[in-house]
Amino acid sequence: MPDGSNGNGNGNGNGNATSLSVEPRHDWTLEQAEALFALPFTDLIYGAQRVHRAWHQPNTVQMSTLLSIKTGGCPEDCAYCPQSVRYHTGVDSDALMSLPDVLERARAARAAGATRFCMGAAYRSPKRKELEKIALMVREVRALGLETCATLGMLSRDQARELKDAGLDYYNHNLDSSEQFYGQIISTRSYQDRLDTLAAVRDAGMNVCCGGIVGMGETARDRAQMLVTLANLPQQPESVPINQLVRVAGTPLAQAGDVDPLDFVRTIAAARVMIPKAHVRLSAGRSTMSDELQALAFLAGANSIFYGEKLLTTGNPDVEQDRALLARLGIRAEAAAAVPGGT
């Protein structure tokens, strides 16, 4: 819990690192967020670590596993996504996985140390019969004692309530970038569509998992604006994944430029300061990150990773590699949250 200290200033997002409030705020301006990003690197990291330790156990990381329960065939045109039917990426369209197969993977994830199990399906929005099957998956995975998360595209309020009734703990629906940049990467759904899904999830009583992608050609201002949008929601997300673009052959962003590693870390640190109570997840793109870059991300306030060999359709560091890195850094796995009915 926070210590209530604001340091030496008013916590308005300007000035030095000691003036940063550890309390959540919902009145961030773009100018304040840009000033935060522009702090000297060590000052920003210091401020982020200070906020992090006010709300979270230091040197711990939450372990999540992500499984694609329905791969490919998505009608959307997200420029980064290998699962779109509009691009030739070598990803086949598969049917929804069976319940026994999903439970087998969930048990394996639990045995490897994961405490949250995330299920992803390449939908614009799930159909009635598919949602019924997924709701059953949620119930059975939760019965294993795992927190549950799903990402299934857009949801109506009724669909969100159905998943909540099944026991879904978190719903992931990323904003990806700022509203101003969004139209350059997606045309098949609007930014408001994404905000409407987040509102439906929140109204149903579920936790929100929402973040974005760094490296699509967006500016630092776009990154700042995305975090302003998230921070200023009536209730901030409980989980904020920060992804580094995975460039996949056949997608429009296959030739996107490299991201400056320090700019990526700045985004992690700014997310930690602006959304202090959330788990900030070091998400896609870790397979190409050096150990040193990941260590800096943890120092900047990242305290969650996806754990396992694959993220939907792209690679991820394997379990033993992650264990070795965390051991070198002295970081331990976060204890599992109590899940009612878990076994």
Q: Which of 118, 142, 223, 247 is catalytic?
A: 118
Q: Which of 105, 149, 194, 286 is catalytic?
A: 149
Any idea which residue has 């919902």 for tokens? 26
The CA distance from 207 to 239, in Å, is 8
User: How is residue 327 written in tokens?
Assistant: 């051991």
Q: How many CB atoms lie within 10 A of CB 106?
A: 24
Q: Which of 81, 116, 142, 189 is catalytic?
A: 81
The string over 198-225, giving b where at least 16 C-beta atoms fall within 10 Å of a residue's C-beta and e elsewhere, is bebbbebebbbbbbbbbbbebebebbbb
Q: Could you confirm whether 78 is annotated as catalytic?
A: yes
Q: Could you confirm whether 210 is annotated as catalytic?
A: no
Over its C-alpha atoms, the chain yields an Rg (Å, rounded) of: 19
Q: Which of 74, 189, 210, 286 is catalytic?
A: 74
Q: Could you confirm whether 81 is annotated as catalytic?
A: yes
Q: Could you confirm whether 281 is annotated as catalytic?
A: yes
Q: Which of 50, 142, 194, 209 is catalytic?
A: 209
List, in order, residues 6 or more apart from 40 with CB less than 8 Å away.
none
In 271-313, DSSP assigns E strands to 279-282, 304-306, 310-311
- Strand-pairing partners, residue 239, are 209, 279
Q: Could you confirm whether 247 is annotated as catalytic?
A: no
Q: Which of 50, 78, 189, 286 is catalytic?
A: 78
Catalytic residues: 74, 78, 81, 118, 149, 209, 281
